[in-house]
Amino acid sequence: MSTRLTPRHGALFALVVLILDQASKQWMAGLLLDLPWPQQLLVLPPWFNLTVVWNRGVSFGLFASDSPWNAWLLAGVASGVAVMLAVWLVRADSPRLILALGAVIGGAIGNVIDRLRWGAVFDFIDVSGLFFPWVFNVADAAITLGVAVLVLDGLIGHKDAQSRPPN
């Protein structure tokens, strides 16, 4: 029995990320959305708090708009990116590439669901006390880590291939 990661493992990882993201958002929405304004729960001040932020744009609020079409447009773009990444995943053979693509796909789909459900992405993890000014969610974390691994794979993956002796 082989322990080699396959694209199916990447798809399963995407599903795990998606479930964790949506479950955490559902739980936090139930906890935070009934609080008076500002909707914030101080957990370990000043390092870690739960704060409601509705992101109507892309990363870090770029291209934010209150137009109802904006949510649909951004959901469509993110869905298209997820499909392209899924095609890449099917062809992937590196374990770190498979897991990174799974993380990005799962996170992207989680944020698409938010846009279609609420018209914005529900962010709630606030670590601004650690000098990180943005509020984010599980999907955002998975996307960020997945993209970082993809970049590293692009930089060191080729070095690995070049350092191996030819067959």
Query: Annotated active-site positions, please?
Result: 123, 140
Distance CA(78)–CA(18), nearest Å, equals: 14
Distance CA(90)–CA(93), nearest Å, equals: 9
For tokens 């959901």, name the residue.
Answer: 75
CA 150 to chain CA centroid, Å, is 13
Distances in whole angstroms, Cα of residue 156 to Cα of each of 32, 76, 145: 42, 32, 16
